[in-house]
Structure 1
Amino acid sequence: MEHDDNSQHHVQIIAHGGRADVTIDGKQVDPSAVKAYSISHLAGEQPEVLLHVADRNDAQWSGTARVAVADLPDPGPAAAVFLDAIDPEALERAALARPDLGTEPCSLTKAMLTQLGEWARGL
């Protein structure tokens, strides 16, 4: 992949423990071709991804890709909508009927939070 200062490429890196899957512009990079990568972002500048190739002779791309970094969405508004839709009576019934409801302090609150989490995940 050729690079010039005006081009931008979509880079996706999914790390799995000690290895990572790297995709550039939708094309999977051979995992054995990348020995390391680093991501940097200085205030006021474009973020950069630097890929260190394992063997330059087999590399089919070179250069630096500029990437955009998206902020994770604030979960607060979605959580507020979810909680506003909860029927308090239904939550209390469900929490009291849970087989894992304990007798220790705060067990009802714990059961309610567990129930809310399950409902949020669609369980």
Structure 2
Amino acid sequence: MNRARQSGFTLIEAVIALLILGLGIMWLVSALTSSYQINGRASGNERATMLARTEMNYQRGLTTRTSGTSSCAASTDSTFTCSVTITPCTLDSSTGIATCSSTATSPTLDQVAVTVTRPGRGTVSLTSLVFRQ
């Protein structure tokens, strides 16, 4: 038989095709692994934000708040550390500017700062001014 008439792949062509296919599969596995890691981080950030919002809503619902820093009352997730800092504030009625200080006299509102930390993964912080009831 004449070599020019033979059809099919040579051994080198088959090896090159398998090499290209293998590289493509390795890239796909790498992309999927990265995607799962990013998704896991996003899920953790979402849970931390939800925990911070839950604590902020809890603090807004209280009729009295104690100044200082304490652990979050609404926290039930041991994966995170959660703290809340309450600072009394006075509101200047002529300018609408709130001044917050631990020594504020006749405070009319509180600055509520909720911080949720996921060890090794970052921090989520929410701060709000809440009128005293």
TM-score calculated relative to the size of structure 1: 0.29
Q: Between Structure 1 and Structure 2, which shows a larger proportion of strand residues? A: 2
Q: Tell me: higher relative CO, structure 1 or 2? Use CA pairs within 8 A at least 6 residues apart.
A: 2
State which structure, 1 or 2, has the greater radius of gyration over its C-alpha atoms.
2
Q: Between Structure 1 and Structure 2, which shows a larger proportion of helix residues? A: 2
